[in-house]
Structure 1
Amino acid sequence: VFHDVAYKAKDRNDLLSGIDEFLDQVTVLPPGEWDPSIRIEPPKSVPSQVKGKKRSSLSCRKGLKEEGHHAGPELQRTGRLFGGLILDIKRKAPFFLSDFKDALSLQCLASILFLYCACMSPVITFGGLLGEATQGRISAIESLFGASLTGIAYSLFAGQPLTILGSTGPVLVFEKILFKFCRNYGLSYLSLRTSIGLWTAFLCIVLVATDASSLVCYITRFTEEAFATLICIIFIYEALEKLVDLGEVYPFNMHNDLNKLTSYSAASSYLNYWLVVSLYSGYLPELFALHFKLFSLQECLEYHGVFRGSACGHHGPYIPDVLFWSVILFFATFFLSSFLKKFKTKRYFPTKVRSTISDFAVFLTIVIMVLIDYLVGVPSPKLQVPEKFEPTRKDRGWFIDPLGGNPWWTLLIAAVPALLCTILIFMDQQITAVIINRKEHKLK
């Protein structure tokens, strides 16, 4: 009977229920005291497996129900002003020093490198999109500085420092709507955005003072899984969308006519070359600098034209296809990362080496693919990082007047969009913290 349960069990609870049922029904005889001449009659009826499965499903539901309520001491309402914050500080204080000591390990180093790569790219990319949406009011350098400042402060003082703060798609939509509103009504975007930021900070302090985090106990496991799935879908969609957009920026031509190469019009800098032509008159050649558009490809070769520039190979013009190379990099990065992540279960190398490779899977994949891209030399799109630490626009500094050139009533009306922004940030951060604090992660 237990043999069938062991093979048909769907999860750990089914297996434990089968063991309990087996121990309830079996007759155990102590070793050395059993006489082989004495036989025990077999049972008249075999116990049903349906009851065991019912008990297993009930226990599983009960466990999920208890887990879904998040009935932990950190989510209980204290009824005092800033009571939850004070208790969080008391709970975190004993582990504050050990958090820095425990970071001196190989696994933490792998996580740090992975998080650096995972955070840097979205922040700068989001900053570029924000710069396009706000016409340079807030761009990559501002997003990078804000993410660095909030990331360091949150990691040092937050109750759950493993949560990563970052801008998401809804925040970009919010900024676009706000900038369009300011442009239509002649308001200063940065001043109004500063007012909204101050109101948002005030509302977040109110939420902390009133123990609003205790409302997380009403978030079910279904909501957590739906939110985690939404995040995965957003990242997958954005990655595929970037890949499709490359087809518009770097289109491929399946009917290239190399004889018309000199008449192509392109914005690339390597096509703006002059052709060095050698005309033989008598015994000595005469050199002339003529624009290549005056000749066809065959005429260029007849006049001993020389191809120069990154678009030319040793034997003629070479046009790399950036789109296809980007697709190769995209899927090669995914498959190599998946392979290295599962390297822990392979048969190659000692256990320590396999475990180290698995921990550094993402970072090793990024380094390998960047090196391959550099060696191949195809001009694939690169991440544009600001070179100087200065505001994007020269006509402003780092500190913005909340009022600026706006009317005084904008300081009050900014509380309405700030409320929407606060709800967005609160839900995003709290659900992420709940997912991190699950029991299976075994966090203190």
Structure 2
Amino acid sequence: MENMKSPFKGIIKDARGRTACYKDDWVSGLCSGLRILAPTFYIFFASALPVIAFGEQLSRDTDGSLSTVETLASTAICGIIHSILGGQPLLILGVAEPTVIMYTYLYNFSKGREELGQKLFLAWAGWVCVWTALLLVLLAIFNAATIISKFTRIAGELFGMLISVLFIQEAVRGVISEFNIPKNESSKLEKYQFQWRYANGLLSVIFSLGVLFTALKSRRARSWRYGTVWLRGFIADYGVPLMVLLWTALSYATPNEVPSGVPRRVHVPLLWDAETVYHWTVIKDMGKVPLTYIFAAFIPAVMIAGLYFFDHSVASQMAQQKEFNLKNPSSYHYDVLLLGFMTLICGLLGLPPSNGVLPQSPMHTKSLAVLKSQLIRKENGKEREGMHRPKGEQLGNLWKNACCVYRNGCACTRCFSK
């Protein structure tokens, strides 16, 4: 109740904290040199691949009303806005599985109503986004984000586990679907014959497991026993994007006898093509939605606003965990306010909104973290002990591990892997 009596208090406090470090963030980022490219490429692919997968799922569940083009466009627009204006720029935004699920329900509801149908689905979803944006703005104004201090670490980890399970579920469903004939496709085509469907499914298993296994292995290249220091560091920094490019190139290395469409590829039309240009003018059809359904859009908006508020705040909290030892203050209230405006923009453009996502946000912070180590040598007679000591009191466990590493015979600055 005290927070509601002081509207805008949290937003003003967050804005002042962000203003104090805004210039330094840009200067530090621009002066970091080529080192910034490694986490940039890593997070780019770690964010783009799920968005592409969810876009394909949206296209399948909404009969093509939304597709990968819209999810990528939403992620790009919201990501740029948040990186420039956001209070917590480490937060990664994207179209996540909960958004896909909610939009699927919205589509199924509108498809079953003659007054809406598939034609006015995006217009009605736009009204849902308008109500959602209004609720998010009110939550920010009345300092609802103070409740994030009540969320323990286990709450964030459990929510992250839920998102991970949804990721795995969609991955398994996607691989299984490669063995089947897509909806509205003719089974008489050569590429949909049993032998080619079977080959396509096996290739999807090989490529998906290959990308996963090699990407995870490359991230641990610094601990390898072979190769030079420079080579191991290069593979650890750029291994994930390189593996994605490598396996993508392998997917094109098929014999001439294989029919076109094996392996299957995601259809991504250009933003200005006829099948996608409608989304940019969906605001014109929002006036055609019956008044009853405009007010009815408030019901799903309440659920989406609560989901976005929780998801966005927890992702921001996980991106600034104590062990990261960040100096800049948090800005939960201001970010929820900005999320409301971004949701409004996406709704008016006919795009699914983007919000803070797990696990990409803490992955982003971890990929940018640098453990500054200091070698301390203490000579006391014949006793000599060396330890890597990371800067910051929050890294006590890593300090203990460093002592063990040194006693096992290694005293170099490469003992710590991100």
Instruction: Please indicate the TM-score interval, normalised by the length of the shorter structure.
Output: 0.5 to 0.7
Deviations 1:226-265 (A, max 9, x none): 1122222222222222222222249xxxxxxxxxxxxxx8
What is the identity, as a one-letter code, of the residue corresponding to 2:15? I
Task: Provide closer, same or farther for how the CA distance between residues 421 and 388 of structure 1 changes in structure 2, counting only shifts above 3 A.
Answer: closer
Match of residue 102 from structure 1: 28
What is the identity, as a one-letter code, of the residue corresponding to 1:248? N
What is the identity, as a one-letter code, of the residue corresponding to 2:240? V
Deviations 1:199-230 (A, max 9, x none): 11111111111111110011122211211222
Structure 2 residue 268 is matched with structure 1 residue 385: yes
DSSP 3-state at the match of 1:409? helix
Say if 2:122 and 2:282, in contact at 8 Å, map to a contact too: no
Q: Deviation at 1:441?
A: 1.7
Q: Deviation at 1:432?
A: 1.0
- Rounded to whole Å, the distance in 2 between the matches of 1:77 and 1:440 is 29
- Rounded to whole Å, the distance in 2 between the matches of 1:215 and 1:231 is 21
Q: Deviation at 1:353?
A: 3.3
What is the identity, as a one-letter code, of the residue corresponding to 2:95? S
Identity of aligned residues (%): 26
Q: How does 1:40-189 map to 2 (within 5 A)?
A: 80-103=6-29, 104-186=32-114, 187=116, 188-189=120-121
- Rounded to whole Å, the distance in 2 between the matches of 1:322 and 1:171 is 29
Q: Deviation at 1:394?
A: 6.7
Say if 2:191 and 2:197, in contact at 8 Å, map to a contact too: no
What is the identity, as a one-letter code, of the residue corresponding to 1:154? H
Deviations 1:301-327 (A, max 9, x none): xxxxxxxxxxxxxxxx99992222322
What is the identity, as a one-letter code, of the residue corresponding to 2:244? I
Match of residue 431 from structure 1: 314
What is the identity, as a one-letter code, of the residue corresponding to 1:173? I
Structure 2 residue 345 is matched with structure 1 residue 413: no
DSSP 3-state at the match of 2:214? helix
Match of residue 226 from structure 1: 158
- Rounded to whole Å, the distance in 2 between the matches of 1:437 and 1:177 is 33
Say if 2:51 and 2:95, in contact at 8 Å, map to a contact too: yes
- Rounded to whole Å, the distance in 1 between the matches of 2:123 and 2:234 is 49
Task: State how many pairs are aligned.
Answer: 310
The TM-score, its normalising length taken from structure 2, stands at 0.66
- Rounded to whole Å, the distance in 2 between the matches of 1:137 and 1:266 is 26
Q: Deviation at 1:159?
A: 1.7
Could you tell me which runs of 5 or more consecutive residues in structure 2 were left unpaired when the two chains were aligned: 328-418
Say if 2:178 and 2:197, in contact at 8 Å, map to a contact too: no
Deviations 1:47-85 (A, max 9, x none): xxxxxxxxxxxxxxxxxxxxxxxxxxxxx9595322212
What is the identity, as a one-letter code, of the residue corresponding to 1:96? Y
Task: Provide closer, same or farther for how the CA distance between residues 95 and 334 of structure 1 changes in structure 2, counting only shifts above 3 A.
Answer: same
Say if 1:333 and 1:366, in contact at 8 Å, map to a contact too: yes
- Rounded to whole Å, the distance in 2 between the matches of 1:147 and 1:210 is 27
Structure 2 residue 189 is matched with structure 1 residue 267: yes
- Rounded to whole Å, the distance in 2 between the matches of 1:270 and 1:165 is 37
Say if 1:191 and 1:400, in contact at 8 Å, map to a contact too: yes
Task: Provide closer, same or farther for how the CA distance between residues 209 and 443 of structure 1 changes in structure 2, counting only shifts above 3 A.
Answer: same
The more displaced of 414-423 and 102-111 is 102-111
What is the identity, as a one-letter code, of the residue corresponding to 1:110? A
The TM-score, its normalising length taken from structure 1, stands at 0.63
Structure 2 residue 219 is matched with structure 1 residue 363: no
Match of residue 50 from structure 1: none
Say if 1:342 and 1:358, in contact at 8 Å, map to a contact too: yes
- Rounded to whole Å, the distance in 1 between the matches of 2:64 and 2:200 is 28
Deviations 1:312-365 (A, max 9, x none): xxxxx9999222232222222222122211110123344343223212121121
- Rounded to whole Å, the distance in 2 between the matches of 1:123 and 1:356 is 26
Q: Deviation at 1:170?
A: 2.6
What is the identity, as a one-letter code, of the residue corresponding to 2:84? L
Say if 1:403 and 1:410, in contact at 8 Å, map to a contact too: no
DSSP 3-state at the match of 2:281? coil
- Rounded to whole Å, the distance in 1 between the matches of 2:111 and 2:288 is 13
Deviations 1:252-305 (A, max 9, x none): xxxxxxxxxxxxx8403799xxxxxxxxxxxxxxxxxxxxxxxxxxxxxxxxxx
Q: Which structure's CA Rg is the greater one?
A: 1
- Rounded to whole Å, the distance in 1 between the matches of 2:314 and 2:13 is 20
The more displaced of 395-404 and 407-416 is 395-404
DSSP 3-state at the match of 1:404? helix
Task: Provide closer, same or farther for how the CA distance between residues 376 and 196 of structure 1 changes in structure 2, counting only shifts above 3 A.
Answer: same
Deviations 1:350-407 (A, max 9, x none): 4343223212121121122222333345732223222343463676752424643332
- Rounded to whole Å, the distance in 1 between the matches of 2:177 and 2:236 is 32
Q: Which structure's relative contact order is higher, taking Cα pairs within 8 Å and 6+ residues apart?
A: 2
- Rounded to whole Å, the distance in 2 between the matches of 1:141 and 1:89 is 33
Say if 2:123 and 2:282, in contact at 8 Å, map to a contact too: no
1:422 aligns with one of 305, 309, 313: 305
DSSP 3-state at the match of 2:252? helix
What is the identity, as a one-letter code, of the residue corresponding to 2:6? R
